[in-house]
Chains A and B, each alone.
Chain A
Amino acid sequence: MKKFLFSVVIFSSISCSVIGQGCSDAGFCTMGAMKPDQPFNKKVPIKLRSMEISFYRGKTTLSPVVYVATADMSFNIIDNKTFFQVKLPYQAVNGNFGKTGSIGDISLCLTRNVFSSEKFDVSFSLGGKIRSNDANTKSDMGLSYPMYYQTSLGTYDLVTGISLVSKKWLFATGLQHPFNQTKNTFTYERWVPVYHNGEGQEFEDYVLSYAPCYQLKRGTDIMLRAERNFRYSRFNFTLGLLPIFRINKDEVTDPNTFQRVKLEGTTGMALTGIVTAGYSFDVKSGIRFLYGKKFTDRQVNPDGLTRHSVSTISYYYRF
């Protein structure tokens, strides 16, 4: 345990000046078996339904700040080992280019407890994400926003994963694979002349700091989660690491030539450190606070899933 804490401290200290990327509001890390802070209590009968309302704030590495309110519902089907989860988010983004807001992508996930013992449980999840729009929301002037401002990833995704949860530990791994490309049409040539009337090198540099995302096709992500849980009667805390690996390159259309291009710097690992603190009002309900801080990122992030930090507060009710 000491070594684990030591490792976390080391990662924290080496990351101070590094811009982060990875865990975000839009990913698969809060679905089914990949969720953080999963309950493990053999004394309390399992609840067959749960409802969680959460409010999320994520500060991106550029100006946009992302706000998400999510209704996360889970209920058992077939037996008390199989659960179906539905997540309905409302997402708003506020940044230098403007404001956007709408229903976000819908997550659906089926989770089955495949092994259970006194010491640990193993669960498997299979699900997907359904896009709420084509990720081509435009400004008042008709210019497509970069992906940072889009309220949807614009793709239909397969999500699957598996977890092992004990009283003290949670280990999980998952995969998210998008099947299609977005319809996003963000280009520098449209934004540079109009952002601050195109006057000032700093404004041009700011526009160019958004990675190209014209008809973006994201690569496949694989996540790992390692989490230490400290459980008490009413309080519980977790300390965890969440590395996400993009295993193949993002691909966009070059708006200058209309050729498809695989972007350099889009693969690799993004590492997030996560702490949570929860308080249970009773066996049915409680609140939880989550804070995530990015330690490392990928070089190029066309999908806009870049966050300096994320924080979420949520209320859950199990019945």
Chain B
Amino acid sequence: MKKNVLFIIFILLIGCSDFEPFEGIAITQYADKVIRFSSQYTANSWSAARALGKENVYPDYGDYINAWASLTDDDQREFLELGFDTVQTVTKIQIFETYNPGAVDSVFLRDAGTKKWNLVYAKPAVKGLPEKSRIFEIFLIEETTFFTDAIRIAINSPAIPNWNEIDAVAITGQRKKK
């Protein structure tokens, strides 16, 4: 009897980790709605809505109307808040910077349940990047433990001279199984 009890305890101990990773369906989606923004160059060309959907400037580099640009070139800090159609966890963020890259200095993801913003990236703007478009990729060290429905991108526009344009924003992770 004692041996059986010990054996059962041993079996139970094997699963003693309190962590159960989320197992959903892999997904990458592009931002599909504008929630808020600090400014936009016009309501049409270079508008915040131009940062929605799949990239349509990248890999080209330059001052194209199909990317978001702020109203002024370097007068103030800027931000974009963009929403996603499907809530999901996040392991990777991609920001398509197609003109004067390097100004993004912090990124937040919004918890779809609590509506709180969670800081996932905070580094100084990167000066001196080559004059070419880039996919700025942020790899999270852990999959988010919350489902997100929006992203906030903060841009230190004065740190990187001239307009800093964003063509598209994508997040990768897992969505719930239906």
Contact = CB atoms under 8 A, between A and B. Distances in A.
A binds B: yes
Interface of A: 3, 7, 187-189, 192, 208, 212, 214, 243, 245, 252, 254-258, 261, 263-269, 271, 295-296, 298-300
Nearest to A295: B14
A256 B14 contact: no
A252 B139 contact: no
Given A208-B139, A254-B141, A261-B142, A299 B123 contact: no
B138 A257 contact: no
Contacts of A254: 141
A123 B162 CA distance: 72
Contact of A258 (B15, B122, B140): B122
B129 to A, nearest CB: 13
B16 A208 contact: no
A264 B145 contact: yes
> How many interface residues does chain B have, given as a range?
20 to 34
Contacts of B122: 256-258
Given A3-B3, A189-B137, A261-B141, A256 B16 contact: no
Given A189-B137, A257-B121, A299 B142 contact: no
Given A7-B10, A189-B138, A267-B17, 4 more contacts: A187-B139, A188-B141, A214-B141, A265-B21
B27 interface: no
B141 A252 contact: yes
A3 B15 CA distance: 22
A243 B14 CA distance: 9
A257 B93 CA distance: 14
Contacts of A3: 3, 7
B13 interface: yes
Nearest to A298: B17
Interface in B1-46: 3, 7, 10, 13-19, 21
B91 interface: yes
Contact of A264 (B3, B15, B19, B91): B19
Nearest to A255: B141
Considering residues A189, A257, A258, which has the most beta carbons from chain B within 10 angstroms of its beta carbon? A257
Contacts of A264: 19, 142, 145
A236 B55 CA distance: 67
A266 to B, nearest CB: 8
Given A189-B137, A252-B141, A256-B141, A7 B7 contact: yes
Given A243-B13, A265-B21, A256 B145 contact: no
Interface string B135-178: 00111111001000000000000000000000000000000000
Interface in B79-128: 91, 119-123
A30 B110 CA distance: 48
A263 B120 contact: no
Nearest to A296: B14
B91 A256 contact: no
A257 B120 contact: yes
Contact of A268 (B17, B21, B145): B17
Contacts of A258: 122-123
B14 A271 contact: yes
Contacts of B120: 256-257
Nearest to B141: A212
Contacts of A214: 141
A257 B13 CA distance: 35
Nearest to B6: A7
Contact of B119 (A187, A257, A295, A296): A257
A268 B16 CA distance: 5
30 contacts: A3-B7, A187-B139, A189-B137, A189-B138, A189-B139, A192-B137, A245-B16, A254-B141, A256-B121, A256-B122, A256-B138, A256-B139, A257-B120, A257-B121, A258-B123, A261-B141, A263-B141, A264-B142, A264-B145, A266-B19, A267-B18, A268-B16, A268-B17, A268-B18, A268-B19, A269-B13, A269-B14, A269-B16, A299-B17, A299-B21
